[in-house]
A and B are shown apart, each in its own frame.
Chain A
Amino acid sequence: MQSLLSRLTKAVLPTKLKIIVMDTLELIKEQTKKQVTTTISGGEAVLEACLAEGVETIFGYPGGAIMPIYDALYDYKEKLKHILVRHEQGAIHAAQGFARVSGRTGVVFATSGPGATNLVTGLADAMIDSTPVVCITGQVFAHLLGTDAFQETDVINITTPVTKWNYQVTDATEIPTVLAKAFYIAGSGRPGPVLIDITKNAQIQKFEYEGYTKCDHIRSYRPKPIVRKEYVEQAAKLINEAERPFVIFGQGVILGKAEKEFKQFIEKAGIPAAWTIMGMSAIPTGHPLGVGMLGMHGNYGPNVLTNECDVLIAIGMRFDDRVTGRLDKYARQAKVIHLDIDPAEIDKNVKADIPVWGDCKETLPMLTNLVEQKVYPQWLQKFKDYQQKEEEKVIYDELNPTGEVLTMGEVIRVLNELTEGNAVIVTDVGQHQMVACRYAKYNQTKSNITSGGLGTMGFALPAAIGAAYGDPSRTTVAVIGDGGFQMTLQELGTIMQFKPNVKIIILNNQFLGMVRQWQQLFNEKRYSFVDIQSPDFVQVAKGFGIPGKSICKREDLKTSLKEMLESKESFLLEVMVGKENNVFPMVPQGRGVAEIVLSKEEI
């Protein structure tokens, strides 16, 4: 109708008639506008966007420059759950934990200046571990930008290197489209954190709201590369001709929601598969083809045999230096097939003979179709032989110690017995993290939540809070060291107030254990500032209304863990463990993966 009238007005008509037509046109425009638009504030538009994106939980902390959004939130209390954390770093780690367990995008609100800068560690963590997070930060009024106003920092430029995308909004009318883009970019392709900085005037500003349309396309952005069939075919050929093929996989399998496709692939091809710390739990840890963890403190077999396989098939992993050790001694004998959604990962660290660009959810089934059904009993036996050796020299004593002091390994063993591999385990960073990831048993995907790439101490407690919201039906256990716990223990306040069910295990060795281990092994035991003292953690928890217990004896271990797990609410269990125990095996820095050692005597 409108276009018809427009055409009419353009046609040669007597001026009078033209005016009438124009008036009608205006009237129609007015009417349609009234039907579909309402006037809302920028702050409301932010919350409408969250609702339209299916967001239920927001982690945040208010402040001056984000007050209009929080004012709007007052009327959305029924529809949006807001978890008030105790520090913005806690908010973003919680959002990460939420995202990693649920597979959905985590959302964070923070104010300008210090509120926003406190997000930086979490953004860097989410960036390097490809976690979808959307952060909304308040900013000073647009006219104050660049004037050193109260709580003004250049958040866009501070966060540019640690975000997949960021954008500053100075006008409310931009909010719906910008947030739609934010959610699309954060969650698509290789996921990552996105930060949207909204000036206070834009949050207050009223505008004609025409509804929210989800974004599914940006002309300059290609979330997934085009799959090149010829590479899939070449990869399949190489796999079919291989005698000792070896699969190594990372979080890409989980992020691509391709666990089933991955399992079908390895089962048909019969190829032993090892996981990176981030890929862990994509297949059950007890899978017959699962041969353990790669990396510096990974398992013996997968590290050594990386340098004996003839075809190395890397899936959704990025050859981190903690996985590869020295690159010039890494899998030189093998032909490398690399499946990744991010073209920038191909050839970044390890040259791929066959690059299979694409989402592994698409490429894996194509590959499965082309590979022959096979088994490699002798090759698999090699992994088992190394496993046996590792069992004898390291694992047995770590899990079944006879000495007086408890070991971290036995805590995880007993935890496995009680949870039967069904819990989500969130770890911090350090020795306890390596032990937990080495020995934890998992039956289902998205169970191992840890700060892999950035190694952020203080990650676990807030991430566990987020994880508990990510899937409340599962038991969430945070395993944390005495050092890392003291970095973000303020989040006990969040647990106190909002009551997510988080089981906290502190493995206390009265040291910053991993640094101490390195100082012992490589710095002639010059223990430089690793003797960290701790408060009475049980008393601290009590102060936050969280029940707790501290144990140091083996006979108390199982009953206490049971008590913790059976508790209806959050519970803190401190376990005193051996002070100077080391994590082995280990690929010492500057060595190749095959030079992995099982004890300190071998270094």
Chain B
Amino acid sequence: MNKQEFTITVYTENQVGLLNRIAIIFSRRKINIESLNTSPTEVDSVHRFTIVINEIEEVVKKLCRQIEKQVEVLKAYYNTEEEIVWQELALYKVSTDAIAEKVKVERLLREYGARAVAIRKDYTVFETTGHREETDNLIKALEPYGLIEFVRSARVAIIKASNSFHDRLKEFEKKEPGEEVIENEYLDKNEEVFTM
């Protein structure tokens, strides 16, 4: 079996330290994480991880079982590239002068479907979403015109075959609301702890 790209989707509780608990499942086996996104789902107490790795399916299947075994993990799925719709978001900062002067740049941006999110006197920030090659190509295209800064997000992915994830999530939360994450309230309260 050959290594291929897999996107792992994990639903978890929102707890301090859980990111590490999931990350070490990969690092323990010396598997590189290509991309990792985590943020709350439509239900605040539940988080969703999207993890991209290159591995053979057999290994990915075992990884998912190890992830799902963690106490605070609700569910883990894995999918091949064909089974998902995915996007990455990219931001490009370019000199405002360059776009104003050069019609080419404007055409370029339109061609890539980029959208201006901030226009300042000295710089403009464009945003585009797409697959890795698409956002990569725009970097190459903008480089000759003085690209100032670039950043790309991790992948987010929708599973094509998913079924009523949203309803199930809502129902799950309704049945038993999640606990609020408790953070350290004392980091800036040096004196207070001694008077408790």
Contact = CB atoms under 8 A, between A and B. Distances in A.
Nearest to A223: B71
A600 interface: no
B194 to A, nearest CB: 8
Given A143-B190, A161-B24, A348-B62, A174 B182 contact: yes
A142 B71 contact: no
Interface in A338-362: 342-344, 346-348
Question: A161, A185, A219, A221 — which one has the most chain B CB atoms within 10 A of its CB?
Answer: A219
B16 interface: yes
Interface stretch (A199-207, A287-295, A545-553, A558-566): A199-207
Nearest to A342: B69
A83 to B, nearest CB: 29
Contacts of B16: 168
A220 B185 contact: no
B17 A170 contact: no
Contacts of B196: 201, 204-206
Contacts of B193: 141-143, 201
B120 interface: no
A179 to B, nearest CB: 15
A141 B12 CA distance: 29
B186 A164 contact: no
Interface string B79-115: 0000000000000000000000000000000000000
Contacts of A220: 12-13, 71-74
B66 interface: yes
Contacts of A174: 182
Contacts of B185: 142, 170-171
Contacts of A342: 69
Interface in A197-249: 199, 201, 204-206, 218-221
Contacts of A185: 71
Nearest to A201: B193
Given A142-B193, A161-B24, A344 B66 contact: yes
A157 B27 CA distance: 14
Nearest to B74: A220
Contact of B187 (A143, A221, A346, A348): A143
A281 interface: no
B184 interface: yes
B78 to A, nearest CB: 14
Nearest to A184: B71
Contact of A344 (B69, B186, B189): B69
Interface string A147-168: 0000000001100110011111
Contacts of A168: 16-17
Contacts of A142: 184-187, 193
A157 B69 contact: no
B28 interface: yes
Interface residues of A, number: 33
Contact of A347 (B21, B62, B189): B62
B20 interface: yes
A219 B178 contact: yes
Contacts of B143: none
Contacts of B178: 219
B71 A143 contact: no
B176 interface: yes
Contacts of A218: 71
Given A157-B17, A161-B24, A344 B187 contact: no
Contacts of A141: 186, 193
B170 interface: no
Interface in B155-188: 172, 176, 178, 182, 184-188
Contacts of B66: 344
Contacts of A532: none
A145 interface: yes
Interface string B124-157: 0000000000000000000000000000000000
B3 interface: no
A164 B71 contact: yes
Contacts of A205: 196
Contacts of B71: 164-165, 185, 218, 220-221
A164 B66 CA distance: 11
Nearest to A147: B187
29 contacts: A142-B185, A142-B187, A143-B186, A143-B188, A143-B192, A145-B187, A156-B17, A157-B17, A160-B21, A161-B24, A164-B71, A166-B17, A167-B17, A170-B182, A170-B186, A171-B182, A171-B185, A174-B182, A199-B186, A201-B186, A201-B196, A219-B176, A220-B12, A220-B71, A221-B71, A343-B69, A344-B65, A346-B65, A347-B62
The 4 closest A-B pairs by CB, nearest first: A142-B186, A344-B65, A201-B193, A143-B186
Interface of A: 141-143, 145-146, 156-157, 160-161, 164-168, 170-171, 174, 185, 199, 201, 204-206, 218-221, 342-344, 346-348
